Amino acid sequence: MELTGNALHPGSGAGRLFVLRKPVSFWGGVDPLKGIVADPRHPQHGKSLCGRILVMERTIGSSSSSAIMLELLRNRVSPAGIVLGRPDAILMLGILVARELGYPTVPVVQVDESGIERLARAEGRRATITDGVVEVVVRPSPRQGSA
């Protein structure tokens, strides 16, 4: 499967798809030292974002989310890439500041709602992002009865 979206931040990244089922505020909702969902009320509490392709319709919360994104990148526990349904200038600010400070950054792609839904159905599969193109590795299942 291949999706083409709007590259909000260029680059390449690869990892397993991790789809947030509910929006999260990075400020207080993501641990910047461990790269995990830290909000105990979130259905995916304790799950790691680190090294994954993070897929989310949108974020919620504070303008401090940019600082958390910056810390995730500085601590090398960030997602390998981000796919958004809606652009998020605050999250992008953290990535741009990281780039200016010489920290590694991640690609960010915006896709439409149907793209988010398609990626949600492929959760857990390996994916790559390269300058606005999200490619998901879908291996055909082996045929029954073949030798």
Q: 15-35 pLDDT, tens per residue?
A: 999 999 999 999 999 999 999
For the chain, what is the mean pLDDT?
Answer: 92
131 — pLDDT class (breaks 50, 70, 90): confident
Q: Is the pLDDT of residue 37 over 70?
A: yes
Residue 60: predicted pLDDT? 87
62 is catalytic: yes
Listed range (10-14, 21-25, 104-108) with the worst mean pLDDT = 21-25
44 — pLDDT class (breaks 50, 70, 90): very high
Active-site pick, 62, 63, 78, 146: 62
Span 140-147, mean pLDDT? 52
Residue 59: predicted pLDDT? 87
Distances (CA, A) of 90 to 65, 86, 87, 147: 6, 12, 9, 54
How far is 103 from 97, CA to CA, in rounded Å? 9
Please report how many Cα atoms fall inside a 13 Å half-sphere around the Cα of residue 102, on the Cβ side: 0
Q: Is the pLDDT of residue 146 over 50?
A: no
Span 139-147, mean pLDDT? 53
CB atoms within 10 A of CB 119: 24
State the pTM of this model. 0.91
Span 86-113, mean pLDDT? 95
How far is 58 from 74, CA to CA, in rounded Å? 23
